[in-house]
A and B are shown apart, each in its own frame.
Chain A
């Protein structure tokens, strides 16, 4: 088992590292596939001379770092205000659907809300006396504000979820009782005593948000600035340029993107150090706090705004997919039709089938590999210190693909796929998706696996005498709910993948996501709404199916009962 788990982990890391290294060589003019065999700095010089380079880098940096810091602050504030209140339970109910919604579908919904002819402008038009759409730059604005807003909208719930998991490890009630007993306001107790401890536990999750926000491509195409675009989008444009000369420039760009990500991570570390030394005196100054009610209310208002925008975006997708005529400034559509669906459906079927196939295969493989690695890690606890260390290392390294910009290593992997003639096959795409699905499945399962009481297995082993039966018939059935939830999460992650499909699919494999991005740049709004809605519904349906399955009384499920 250790050998199999190690093999899977080594293969996984090798592919990521090989992809990264393979992207570095073309950046220095070495790409034998295209006949470039001499090392040179020409791609870097060409990159340096790119018009608007500084602007592209700045807006990527601004939107990425800004969205991450604001999301983290909002998430911490919400957790502090909601702990022990009804909002905590409300968040537990809402987080799953928000998390399951792909960024892209949400960004299309957001466009329908904030665009000049969107519902927001329609709602304001009677008061502003607008007869035509206002001259707003709310979508693809040059300051990347709509992109930043979308990132905040999507990443705050993710960080809230991570904080809700981490907070279980802290004696929050005791800390609050102690802090209040010392005369501190509740809000100050959170900021001075609980935030520092929570932050250190969710730092890695925040860094994954940072990397994602800096290097995201699909939603940056739809919502981000256009002339010039964010840097990641520009790098993709170079990669997709039919002139092969641009491949070396794109590689140099992808390496620069990696450097940008590293610089942002370094900035966060410097900010942490600064905050730690500058705020240390304030932490122990004895200041008991003021205005706690204001901050609590503000946090809850932010949460409610987030829910309203999320719900509004989803409703907009639904409305636009059935709209036939909706002239500005009317608040309600004038006529409805199924024509959007009728026109979209025939073209949508193939990408839909492909998305389902790739999603199910990659999520299934990720689930099996996660269980294998976790089970081997669990067994290593009672074995040699070397094995324990190795499995701890594997666990930490699972974050690796989430801490590197996708563009950087996917291009390198694509080079290897071309060499081995595996490009453009659905299985290659599924395996490429696996690189991102596996970390999420592993991370979602690691908690339940850690908390599983091994005495159940020991008891089953004594009764049945078979470790295989004890594992499948007891452990897997006890952990059925997290296993199904992990599968649904893996499926949702796969559905949302854009770049891996683009790089491994070579244009021959298309999914709902790649088609939605293609439509978003100037397509018909009704068709775009249908595609985005389908993309949004797929993971939700899978979550629903898994919830139904886990709620099903296993005892009355005949096939399992017979097998057991």
Chain B
């Protein structure tokens, strides 16, 4: 599995953010994109997901396993996105938030098993019925990541995943993320402005 981006260019209100950027993200590896605030890091992820706001102009080609997905709608690209806010839906319980990520072709019992496994991996086995608003920042982050992984994305995008956590939680969640990532054989692209977030064995693009 690999994601290839060719000649990516991004601009907003006539200001060029990114020009002629090409890269390849390979399975099981983390590709980190770094740079100062406002340089267009998150917009690159939006372009890859197909959620670039209307005020931005973007061009370039996105190839997933040598298949052009540039013009495909967001929900058909198979690209999972983890936001810095670790957004959980407050009208659904913790279990239901996890269930929301699981594709519909799994049977009810399979879904249940997957949720229980995910909860225990997050070290929150008895929190299934809880409202997500009762969780701490670190717990929310783990559940949110698990939900993204349960949707079985072909590529995982991480948008400043550690930036809103305090230093101790940050370290714990970093380990949690990279342990999961190493188990998966999918490309991971991570946007960050903090060098400490970047794992040693990863490729880095500086904007």
Interface residues, chain A, with chain B CB atoms under 8 Å away: 84, 171, 173-178, 180-186, 192-193, 196-197, 200, 280, 283-289
A-B residue pairs in contact (CB < 8 Å), sample of 6? A175-B89, A180-B74, A200-B91, A286-B102, A286-B104, A286-B111
Task: Indicate whether B9 reaches chain A with its CB closer than 8 angstroms.
Answer: no
B79 within 8 A of A: yes
Which of A174, A177, A289 has the most chain B CB within a 10 Å cutoff? A177
A181 engages B99 (CB within 8 Å): no
**Chain A residues within 8 Å of B78, by CB:** 183
- In B20-46, the 8 Å CB interface with A consists of 46
Decide if A196 touches B100 in the complex (CB within 8 Å). Answer: no
Task: Let me know if B69 is at the binding interface, CB within 8 A.
Answer: no
Give the residues in chain B near A183, CB-CB below 8 Å.
75-76, 78, 103, 151, 153
Nearest Cβ on chain B to A393's Cβ, whole angstroms: 24
Measured between beta carbons, the chain B residues less than 8 angstroms from A181 are 49, 74, 79-82, 148, 151, 153, 157
0/1 string, B42-64, CB within 8 A of A gives 1: 00001001110110000000000
Alpha-carbon gap, A212 to B102, bound state (A): 43
What are the 10 tightest A-B residue pairs by CB atom distance, in nearest-first order?
Answer: A181-B81, A286-B104, A284-B99, A180-B74, A182-B151, A196-B91, A284-B96, A287-B104, A185-B75, A177-B51
**Smallest CB gap from B159: residue in A:** A177
A549 to chain B, nearest CB (A): 33
| A contact residues around B106 at 8 Å (CB) | 286
User: B96 touching A283 by the CB < 8 A rule?
Assistant: yes
- Contact mask B86-118 → A, CB, 8 Å, 1/0? 010111100010011111111000010000000
Interface size range on B against A: 35 or more
How far, in angstroms, from A159 to B101 measured CA to CA in the complex?
A: 31
A177 to B77 CA separation, bound complex (whole angstroms): 13
Q: A177: which B residues are within 8 A, CB to CB?
A: 46, 49, 51, 81, 83
Query: Which chain B residues (140-163) contact chain A, with CB distance < 8 Å?
Result: 147-148, 151, 153, 157
B197 is an interface residue with CB less than 8 A from chain A: no
Q: Assess whether A186 is in contact with B74, with CB atoms less than 8 Å apart.
A: yes
**Interface flag for B85 (CB, 8 Å):** yes
Contact A186 B75 (CB under 8 A): yes
> Which secondary structure characterizes the binding site on chain B?
loop
Contact residue among A175, A176, A180, A182 (Cβ-Cβ distance under 8 Å from B147)? A182
Closest to B105 in A: A286
Cβ 8 A contact of A286, one of B73, B76, B99, B157: B99
Closest residue of chain A to B101, judged by CB? A182
Contact B103 A284 (CB under 8 A): no
Q: How distant is the Cα of A280 from the Cα of B148 in the complex, in angstroms?
A: 20
List chain A residues, Cβ under 8 A from B151.
Answer: 181-183
Using Cβ atoms and an 8 Å threshold, which residues of chain B touch A84?
53-54
A176, B49: Cα distance in complex, Å: 11
Nearest B residue to A289 via CB reads B75
In the complex with contacts A84-B54, A177-B81, A171-B87 CB distance below 8 A = yes
Closest to A177 in B: B51
Complex Cα distance, B75 from A138, in Å, reads: 45
Question: A86: nearest residue on chain B (CB-CB)?
Answer: B54
Question: Beyond A180-B75, A284-B96, is A175–B81 a contact (Cβ under 8 Å)?
Answer: no
Instruction: Return chain A residues, CB-CB under 8 Å to B148.
Output: 181-182
Q: Name the residue in A186, A197, A283, A284 with the highest tally of chain B Cβ atoms < 10 Å from its Cβ.
A: A284
Q: Complex Cα distance A174/B109, Å?
A: 31
CB distance from B78 to the nearest CB of A (A): 7
Q: Bound complex: CA of A184 vs CA of B54, how far in Å?
A: 20
In the bound complex, how far is the Cα of B101 from the Cα of A173, in angstroms? 18
Given contacts A286-B103, A286-B111, A288-B75, contact A180 B92 (CB under 8 A): no
Q: How far is the CB of A192 from chain B (nearest CB, A)?
A: 8
